[in-house]
Amino acid sequence: MNNNFLLLLPEFIVTGLAFVVLGLDLFLPERRKWVLPIVAVVGLVVALVVSLRYLWGVSDSLYDGVIRVDGYALFFKAFFIALGGVVVLVSVDFVRRNLEHPGEYYGILLFTVVAMMLLAASGELLTAYISLELLSFGLYVLVAYDRYNAKSNEGATKYILLGAFSSALLLFGISQVYGLLGTTRFDEISSALSSADALSPGLILGIALIIAGLGFKVAAVPFHMWAPDAYEGAPIPITAHLAVGSKAAAFALVLRLFAEAFMPIVEQWQILLIGLAVITMLLGNLVALAQRNLKRLLAYSSVGQVGYLLMGVAALAATGSGGIMLHLVAYAVTNMAAFLCLAAIYNITGRDDIAGMAGVARRAPLVGLVFAVSLFSLAGLPIFVGFTSKFYLFNAAAAQGLLWVAGIAIFSSLISLYYYLQVVRQLYIEPAEDAAPIPVPRLTLGVLGALFAGMVGLGVYPAPLMEAVQYASDALF
């Protein structure tokens, strides 16, 4: 067995970068700590360039299929590296104003990016589990990072306890599958399921436990209990990372697992995922109506988005993974913009409730504009990327014959439009308690401008992104 370890060069670069940031933090005086996020972003750009130059068109594996190197893994590696860079940039002003020990913050953030990259490349259940735990451990620490904040500690405690419970479910499910099929590799599981006459009760239990464990990780109903408290308690950039990065990483695993391992028994799990999707998108959007804190509102909104993605996974057999991957990217760009606007407002006003957004469009016009556009994109209104991705995703479900599920998804989107408009009303119509302008750093304005261009540009002309998604999807199927 000849293993070319240079295939893991992007992971090695990001891991080395995390240690460099941690090491620099030990020697830099307090006044020079501003260098750390610059080092992190430059290193991630290098990792992105190396990934695209070195791995483009490569289809190989390491350790006899345990780690996969293909177009699908490359798409998500590039996505997670870019996402990590955006989270670092979103964090700069927030960390400077609100948190201590920036070196550890950026270092742990980079380790979570490595975990996400490995998740997308996993071709075997235990490798996927270890990658998922590396991601979870990093997120547990980051959610609790504001250690003198009671909400941060409470959210992290709930997240750790329920995360441990979900990990136990996942491991027990993996042990059932291994005990009955004798393998944990996705391709061998597929072969064993294809040749089996009927599923044993133990195997059904194992697959159900794996779905439940992954349901916790993506915050699908009824496994979503940790999400609102963890989102509310975490520092705002980490809430964005939780909402976007951890979900995208878990769905990168879910897509490969269901496409490569569980596809022969699609009839058995499809109905379960349809049920999960329907209750997730309905409950997520309905409970969001009652929220008064923006982080909690966006938490329940993201639960609703998970419902749409699960609907896409249920339609996987007939339509492939293109719609899901497109929606993950669209959701990432849109949610990052929303959370960066919230962070910019919070840094000056100290408020993250809906009423605290009153008059922001007059106090910081660009922040108000991008915030409103990001909410319209999340709701799926035309010309924005959220509309384009939802159109592809809902169309995929309808093409599979799940027309009634697509109808419920459209109804859920209409519900979400109501609570997004409540926030837009505060931004543009309600008078501000304090009319003083909100100073926004140039870096934040630059990132907001880029995210705004992404939301509108990819909504109007999604062809380049669709080509990248098609390349990745072809590797999977």
Average confidence score pLDDT of the chain: 89
Cβ-based burial of 2 (10 A; exposed 0-12, middle 13-18, buried ≥19): exposed
Q: What percent of the chain has pLDDT over 90?
A: 47
Q: Write out pLDDT tens, residues 195-234.
A: 877 788 888 899 999 999 999 989 898 888 888 899 988 8
For the cut 80, the answer to whether the pLDDT of residue 346 exceeds it is yes
Q: What is the pLDDT of residue 172?
A: 94
Q: Write out pLDDT tens, residues 169-193.
A: 999 999 999 998 888 898 899 898 8
At residue 6 the predicted structure's pLDDT band, cuts being 50, 70 and 90, is confident
Residue 271 is classified by DSSP as H
Q: Write out pLDDT tens, residues 138-154.
A: 999 999 888 888 888 88
Q: Give the residue-averaged pLDDT of 102-113.
A: 92
Q: What is the pLDDT of residue 28?
A: 83
What are the beta bridge partners of residue 36? Answer: none
Q: How far is CA 403 from the centre of its chain?
A: 26
**CB distance 106 to 36 below 8 Å:** yes
Q: Which amino acid is at 260?
A: E
Residue 4 is classified by DSSP as -
How far apart (Å, rounded) are the C-alpha atoms in residues 93 and 344?
Answer: 8
Q: Give the residue-averaged pLDDT of 301-313.
A: 92
Residues written for the chain:
477
Q: What is the pLDDT of residue 284?
A: 92
At residue 401 the predicted structure's pLDDT band, cuts being 50, 70 and 90, is confident
Q: What is the pLDDT of residue 318?
A: 57
The mean-pLDDT minimum among 111-120, 338-347, 392-401, 446-455 falls in: 392-401
How far apart (Å, rounded) are the C-alpha atoms in residues 273 and 96?
Answer: 42
Q: Write out pLDDT tens, residues 39-81.
A: 999 999 999 999 888 888 777 878 887 888 888 999 999 999 9
Q: How far is CA 302 from the centre of its chain?
A: 9
How far apart (Å, rounded) are the C-alpha atoms in residues 107 and 53?
Answer: 25
Q: Is the pTM of this model over 0.85?
A: yes
Name, of 103-112, 264-273, 314-323, the range with top average pLDDT.
103-112
At residue 319 the predicted structure's pLDDT band, cuts being 50, 70 and 90, is low
Q: What is the pLDDT of residue 320?
A: 60
- At CA 166, angle to CA 164 and CA 172, rounded to 5? 105
Q: What is the pLDDT of residue 193?
A: 87
320 φψ region: left (φ > 0), alpha (ψ -120 to 50), beta (else): left
Phi then psi dihedrals of residue 199, to 5 deg: -80, 130
What are the residue boundaries of the structural domains of the chain, listed by start? 262-477
Q: What is the pLDDT of residue 477?
A: 74
Q: What is the pLDDT of residue 418?
A: 92
Q: What is the pLDDT of residue 135?
A: 94
Phi then psi dihedrals of residue 432, to 5 deg: -80, 145
CB atoms within 10 A of CB 53: 8
